[in-house]
Amino acid sequence: MKGMLIDSTKCIGCRGCQIACKQWNNLPAEKTEFFGGDGYQNPGRLSSKTWTLIKFNEIKKDTNVEWIFSKQQCFHCIEPSCVAVCPVCALLKTKSGAVIYDPKKCIGCRYCQLACPFDIPCFDWDKPAPEIKKCNFCFDRIENGKKPACAKACPADAITFGERDDLIREAEIRIADNPNKYINHIYGRFEAGGSSILHIAGVSFDKLGFRSDLPQSPAVVNKSEFAMKAIPYIMTGLGILLGGCSWIINRRNQNEASKTEKQT
């Protein structure tokens, strides 16, 4: 399974990965403002037009304030909740590690948005029939033996692409060799059951905007699958209810039409 190791201690905040992502995926620019009004993060959050985002984190160290950058994108979970809850199989976890999306199958239920532990999937509200938009791990590039666009473009080697197991070993080596530089945590190794996207950093990940309350097992998938079992019964009940309402309305209209005919 492929993966990416993102080292925030190497990231220089150039946002070259953001540009490369937009170029490769033909994503339009969006009119934005600096997030918070007094920083340099732009745009403020992921959207249907921005699948990769460099977050500018102002971290206080002693008496100084430093910028520490963090890359936000889909984590491509090993056991993705979005895939588990999709009732029409519009989302798929591939053997390469990428979680991809088929807009032709999507019915717009947005269960994937509710299930994602990282709050990643975005809807394209500019269209009459909104579609899910998120990083697809440059699946088309990976399938042809190429690196994802963001990893290819990074000038600081902050993004390493390869086999997930190899990346974990590389992260362990970096942390062991530089204990004063890194915290002893590989984010994404176990969070929510593990993901194809891994992070290492010099500060705790909650300071970089990552969730620190996630379980180390894909428990949300089990809960989601349990909830999904109820959907056929709910849809059947809804169909019966709507059918009953339709019958009552039609019956009422027929009675009124009959009364009108008798009066005339």
Q: Residue ranges of the domains in the chain?
A: 2-75+146-220, 81-135
Cis peptide bond N-terminal to 43, omega within 30: yes
Q: Average the pLDDT over 162-190 and give the result.
A: 97
Do 81-135 and 2-75+146-220 fall under one CATH topology?
Answer: yes
pTM for this structure? 0.81
| Length of the chain as a residue count | 264
Mean per-residue pLDDT over the chain, rounded: 87
How does pLDDT run across 40-77, given as a tens digit for each residue?
A: 788 888 999 999 999 999 888 778 888 899 999 999 99
Predicted pLDDT of residue 81:
94
| Interacting residues of 233 by C-beta distance below 8 A, sequence separation 6+ | none
Fold of 81-135: Alpha-Beta Plaits (3.30.70)
**Is 199's pLDDT higher than 80?**
yes
Query: Stretch 141-162: mean pLDDT, rounded?
Result: 97
Residue with tokens 């984590």: 75
| Residue-wise pLDDT tens digits, 209-222 | 999 999 988 845 44
For the residues of 8-47, what is the DSSP string, one character each?
A: TTT-----HHHHHHHHHHTPPP-----TTTTS---SSS-B
- Say if domain 2-75+146-220 classifies as CATH 3.30.70.20: yes
Whole-number pLDDT of residue 233: 47
> Percent of the chain beyond pLDDT 90?
64
